Amino acid sequence: ITRAIWFRRDLRLNDNTALAKALENTSDDDKVFLFFHIDPNLNQTFDAQHDYFFQTLKALVDDAGHKGAEFHFIEGEPERAFDELLDTVDIDEVYFNSDEAGYGRDRDQRITKKLEGHDVLVYSFIDHHLHGAEEVEKKSGGYYKVFTPYYKQWKKVQKPAVQKVDLEKLAEHTIDETDAFSHGKQAFESLLKKSDRSFEDIGESPAREQLNHFLDDAVYDYDEQRDFPAVEGTSRMSKFLRTGAISIRTVYHAVNDQVDYRKNTEGVETFISELAWRDFYNMIHHFYPNAWDEEMVEKYRGLPWNDDEELFERWKDGKTGYPIVDAAMRQLNETGWMHNRLRMTVASFLTKDMLMDWRKGERYFAEKLVDYEPSSNIGGWQWAASTGTDPVPYFRVFNPTRQSERFDPHGRFIKEWIPELEHVSEKYIHSPSKMPDNEQEKSKCIIGEDYPEPIVDHKTMRVRAIEMFEDKK
């Protein structure tokens, strides 16, 4: 029997359900065939995540090589690519970790049908999330729309165990003649050549190291420190979870096995609840397939968003005159990551202070984030825009200056990202436009020249945002 394992966004050898199950069933003369499909749709993704993803894939190919296993690539439109695959290798069974939302879900359905039409057995698994979209159900049936009751139920459902992969079997049974797939290999190599950004942490080992680092210490204070962008108070696991360099089960069980519950458990519990948010948004996207383009709350469809491109450019470039917003956008543009507190702040600023369409912000994040996950990003944006299923209420508009005072009290984060404000005193760091002339000279920051005036007035825009929503009621 030949079993093909189709890798997608699960770029790891350890705790990988599809791989573990395929190998579990493999014995005697059976063969395994590891492959990745280079879908033209992947070219629609943007530079940062594209580069990071393919470099992680390269790390996986190398890791597999060290274990004596060969990786293969097919490329092109999914149907055609799979036809070629079936023509070339006599495959009996295909194993993969399924996508439950977005493009991946549609493609999986199409390819499953094709494979089954060729008498290939298809085994697909819930692997990207602790609980799949349909696993946490209301007692009365149906699915949750609000996080808190979802989370209560989520906690009660038994968590899947870590999947042990028999890596020795992998080497013994791997199919390694590669000639037939040289096209795919070339396509992969040319993608790698194009991906010229360099990143610090790529692949399984750095993912595990980062997790251990977080569990050694920061997890205990997570509940208190996770809102302060100047502090490394969060796990930084998102890019690894996005590429699948680490499994969500490994993360969850490591927390349970490694933490010392005699220390502060609030931090640990809060962290676990964030993992549940990831499942929650996957579930929401599964049940609202149009959520990437359409407000989940029907009455808020067609809000009269502002489409002033110049304002939008200022937001993107981190030149709004609100230091916390600008510092956050510069962090995003430069590193491909933004702190969660700031994702909420800049998303609120774009939608409520600038009255701009959340879709624009969602697309911009897609372009820049290394950890871009459609379900979490759409969920986060529709939360901030007050158009999602469990959003921030439209009348509770974030005050960006207040956010800055609370979460970056000394302006440390602001100064890290906005050198123009380096010498501004703590008194004015959150609203530099209030500096009197002598203070501007002293801090070598002339407002309007070195750093912009605020592009909007928060108080005025807050009222307008509330009115915009109330007009729709």
Q: How far is the CB of 225 from ligand FAD (least distance, A)?
A: 10
**Counting contacts by CB under 6 A, is residue 377 touching ligand FAD?**
yes
Q: How far is the CB of 280 from ligand FAD (least distance, A)?
A: 7
**Counting contacts by CB under 6 A, is residue 380 touching ligand FAD?**
yes
Instruction: Give the range of 81-89, 173-181, 369-377, 442-450 binding ligand FAD by CB under 6 A.
Output: 369-377
Instruction: Give the range of 198-206, 235-243, 288-296, 399-407 binding ligand FAD by CB under 6 A.
Output: 235-243
Q: How far is the CB of 169 from ligand FAD (least distance, A)?
A: 31
Q: Between 277 and 394, whose beta carbon lies closer to ligand FAD?
A: 277
425 φ, ψ to 5°? -75, 160
Q: Between 182 and 256, whose beta carbon lies closer to ligand FAD?
A: 256
Helix or strand holding residue 450 (H, E): none
Q: Where are the alpha helices (DSSP H) in 67-100?
A: 78-88
Q: How far is the CB of 402 from ligand FAD (least distance, A)?
A: 17
Q: Where are the alpha helices (DSSP H) in 118-181?
A: 147-156, 167-173
Distance of CA 20 to the CA centre of its chain: 25
Least Cα distance to 125 among 88, 104, 105, 98 occurs for 98
**Mask for 310-349, x = binds ligand FAD (CB under 6 A):** ------------------------------x--xx--x--
Sign of CA dihedral 314, 320, 323, 325: negative
Least Cα distance to 72 among 45, 51, 91, 49 occurs for 91
Q: How far is the CB of 362 from ligand FAD (least distance, A)?
A: 8
Q: Between 97 and 235, whose beta carbon lies closer to ligand FAD?
A: 235
Q: Between 398 and 451, whose beta carbon lies closer to ligand FAD?
A: 398
CB atoms within 10 A of CB 65: 11
- Residue 105 annotated as binding site: no
Q: Is 73 helix (H, G, I), strand (E, B) or coil?
A: strand
**Two tokens at 179?**
């000639």
- Residue 199 annotated as binding site: no
- Residue 188 annotated as binding site: no
CA distances from 116 to 93, 106, 109, 182, 385 (A): 10, 16, 11, 26, 42
**Counting contacts by CB under 6 A, is residue 281 touching ligand FAD?**
yes
Instruction: Give the range of 55-63, 270-278, 402-410, 463-471 binding ligand FAD by CB under 6 A.
Output: 270-278
Instruction: Give the range of 33-41, 233-241, 259-267, 438-446 binding ligand FAD by CB under 6 A.
Output: 233-241
**Two tokens at 460?**
């005025």
Residue positions annotated with a catalytic role: 274, 277, 305, 340, 358, 381
Among 172, 224, 274, 367, binds ligand FAD (CB under 6 A): 274
Least Cα distance to 67 among 23, 111, 104, 108 occurs for 23
Distance of CA 432 to the CA centre of its chain: 33
- Residue 343 annotated as binding site: no
Single-letter amino acid, residue 460: T
- Residue 406 annotated as binding site: no
Residue 5: how many CA atoms within 13 Å on its side-chain side? 31
Expressed in angstroms, the distance from the first to the final Cα of the chain is: 61
Among 277, 288, 394, 451, binds ligand FAD (CB under 6 A): 277
Q: Which of residues 85-114 bind ligand FAD (CB under 6 A)?
A: none
Q: Which of residues 381-440 bind ligand FAD (CB under 6 A)?
A: 381, 384
Count of positions on this chain that bind ligand FAD (CB under 6 A)? 28
**Mask for 213-232, x = binds ligand FAD (CB under 6 A):** -------------x------
Which class for 96: exposed (0-12), middle (13-18), buried (19 or more C-beta within 10 A)? buried
Among 51, 63, 204, 371, binds ligand FAD (CB under 6 A): 371
For residues 228 and 408, give the distance between their C-alpha atoms in angstroms, rounded to a whole number.
6
- Residue 292 annotated as binding site: no
Strands (E), 8-61: 31-38
Largest CA distance in the chain: 83
For residues 208 and 212, give the distance between their C-alpha atoms in angstroms, rounded to a whole number.
6
Q: Which residues bind ligand FAD (CB under 6 A)?
A: 226, 234-238, 241-242, 274-275, 277-278, 281, 340, 343-344, 347, 365, 369, 371-373, 376-377, 379-381, 384
**Binding site residues, as ranges?**
222, 234-238, 271, 274-281
**Binding site residues for FAD, as ranges?**
222, 234-238, 271, 274-281
